[in-house]
Amino acid sequence: MTVAALILVRPSLAGNLGAAIRVAANFGVRRIELVESGVDPADSEVAAWACGGGERLTVGRHASLEDAAKPFTTLIASASGRGRDNQPLVTPPEVVEYVSQRGAEGTALVFGNETRGLSRDDLDRCDLVVRVPTDPEFPVLNLTQTIAILVAYLSMELEPSPPTGPEPASQELVAGLMTHLESALASIGFLQEENPQRMLRKLRRLFGRAGITENEVAILRGICRQMMWAAGRRR
């Protein structure tokens, strides 16, 4: 069993995209979503590297990670250990535990640009960040190598069974909650004006680890509305 999709953010090399399509097809991933792609999936070089894999899956194109993420309930980003000392990271075995609880059919793995990786904003939009263990003196893998390792590992370790926990809310609902929460917390002066994202980033990680449900999103948005009403009444 494997995840539902790969999301590639700003890929720039045709060979990498073609190889990623081939790896995805090898392990039964049926969707690849491209965000701000610098490569046309119809390019002949992509097809050459894909070796027929493109016939076994669909490739979508999107203007933003937010748009590409809408159908999914869990986003797991991949990042190297370099420069991520302040970014909570999970291991591949921990990812298996999370996906087993939440369900593979709603899970997408997110990968960044070959040179720059994922931006801080992209990482903040994801529920979890996984790192493939490597030698600390040379930690950066090629994009396709990372995809192959993670997809192969998950396909071997994930059992074909229903999720063991409640279904998480969709990424679209969680994104709406974060926007609402930012307004509500700002209305009561809780956020630091010079760096409001610092606290919001921590809350997003909390929701990601918890696998917040649709009902919990509704409760928190109700609290946000009450906070904003109370703040306006005081003024």
As a whole number, mean pLDDT of residues 201-217 equals 91
| pLDDT tens, residue by residue, 87-122 | 578 899 999 988 988 888 999 999 999 888 999 889
pTM of the model: 0.85
Q: Where are the domains of the chain?
A: 5-157, 171-234
Quickly name the fold that domain 5-157 has.
Alpha/beta knot (3.40.1280)
Task: With a cut of 60, say whether residue 85 has pLDDT above it.
Answer: no
Architecture per CATH, domain 171-234, reads as: Orthogonal Bundle (1.10)
Residue 113 pairs in a beta bridge with 117
In whole numbers, what is the pLDDT of the chain averaged over residues?
90
Closest CA to 5 of 97, 111, 116: 111
Torsion of CA 131, 122, 172, 62, to 10 degrees: -110
Q: How many CB atoms lie within 10 A of CB 30?
A: 13
| pLDDT tens, residue by residue, 137-166 | 888 889 999 999 999 999 998 887 778 788
As a whole number, mean pLDDT of residues 131-139 equals 87
DSSP state of 71: T
Q: What 3-state DSSP class applies to 76?
A: strand
> How large is the angle between the packed helices 14-26 and 143-157, nearest 10 degrees?
10
Residue 81 pairs in a beta bridge with none
Task: With a cut of 70, say whether residue 235 has pLDDT above it.
Answer: no
- Confidence (pLDDT) at 51: 96
| pLDDT tens, residue by residue, 175-185 | 999 999 999 99
